[in-house]
Amino acid sequence: MGEEFDGRVVVVTGASAGVGRAVVRAFARRGANIALIARGIDGLEGARAEVEAMRGRALVLPLDVADADAVEEAADRVERELGPIDVWVNDAMVSVFAPVGETTPAEFKRVTEVTYLGYVHGTLAALKRMRSRDRGTIIQVGSALAYRAIPLQAAYCAAKHAVKGFTEALRTELRHDGSRVRVTQVHLPAVNTPQFSWSRAKLPRAPRPVPPVFQPEIAADAVLFAAAHDRREVWVAWPTTKAIAGERIAPSVADRWLAKHGYEAQQTREPLPAGRPDNLYAPVRGDHGAHGRFDAPAKSRSLQWSLTKRRRWIVASALAVVGLFLGGRGWRALAGAR
Return the active site residues.
156
39: left (phi over 0), alpha (psi -120 to 50) or beta: alpha
- Extract the runs of DSSP E, i.e. beta strands, from 80-229: 87-90, 96-97, 137-143, 182-188, 200-201, 205-207
Neighbours of 287 (CB within 10 A): 16
192 within 8 A of 209, measured Cβ to Cβ: yes
**DSSP strand pairing (267-271 vs 205-207):** antiparallel
Buried-exposed string 20-40: b where 16+ CB fall within 10 A, e elsewhere: bbbbbbbbbbbebbbbbbbbb
258 within 8 A of 151, measured Cβ to Cβ: yes
- Give residue 42's identity as a one-letter amino acid code: D
CA gyration radius, the chain: 22
Burial label, 70 (beta-carbon count in 10 A; 0-12, 13-18, 19+): middle
Neighbours of 263 (CB within 10 A): 16
**DSSP strand pairing (87-90 vs 33-38):** unpaired
Task: List, in order, residues 6 or more apart from 179 with CB less than 8 Å away.
Answer: 131, 134
Determine the Cα–Cα distance for residues 288 and 297; give it in Å rounded to an integer.
19
Which is it for the CA torsion 92, 96, 100, 102, positive or negative? negative
136 within 8 A of 88, measured Cβ to Cβ: yes
